[in-house]
Amino acid sequence: MINFTQLVLASHNAGKLKELQAMLGDSVQLRSIGEFSTVEPEETGLSFVENAILKARNAARISGLPALADDSGLAVDFLGGAPGIYSARYADGKGDAANNAKLLDALKDVPQAERGAQFVCVLALVRHADDPLPILCEGLWHGRILMAASGEHGFGYDPLFWVPERDCSSAELSPSDKNQISHRARAMDLLRQRLGLK
């Protein structure tokens, strides 16, 4: 069991900070790396694990605090795991709508049965920048890609991701429901166990 009162989150995304803080609970204060630096590290890893560790080490180095990083994305079976680690910049950084349009185009002739996909989240926690033993927790959320967008909630690929256990798209889930079953929630459950949090 490791005790932290503060962690720095290796993200400038206010939505992600709020979501992860809600999942962590009140015993640990999550602070944004934005308090310490506006510079984003270059994500040079070839996997979610490598990029999460890279971001966590960078945040710990800049802040002097233990750091938590999240690297997540969408892996589509038919596309060999793409867009994968490039999910956020799949359409050359033009945003969610462009990413979704590119994905639908890539799958335009693919039947429902072959549109399996999973959201992936890897959380990496380091006690300090040179921590030789990062804590790694992975969450997978299985579903499939719809033929067209559906729903108003969420962000990213949520409108295209069908959630079989809820019989709706991820963007049709309430934020609280999504926070209980998503890839990020599953990874965070594992992290809470590793940290001995109730």
The tens digit of pLDDT for each residue in 141-156 reads 999 999 999 999 888 9
Residue 78 marked in a binding site:
no
Residue 72 marked in a binding site:
yes
Residue 70, beta-bridge partner list: 123
Q: Dmax of the chain from CA atoms?
A: 51
Residue 71 falls in the annotated catalytic set? yes
Total residue length of the chain: 198
Residue pair 7/29 in contact (Cβ under 8 Å)? The answer is yes
Domains of the chain are: 6-195 (3.90.950.10)
Q: Give the pLDDT confidence of 89-112 residue by residue, as tens digits.
A: 999 989 999 999 999 999 999 999
Residue 170 marked in a binding site:
no
Residue 127 pLDDT class (50, 70, 90 cuts): very high
Residue 195 pLDDT class (50, 70, 90 cuts): confident
Is residue 138 pLDDT above 80, yes or no? yes
Catalytic residue among 26, 70, 71, 189: 71
d(CA 75, CA 178): 18
Pairing of strands 135-145, 116-126: antiparallel
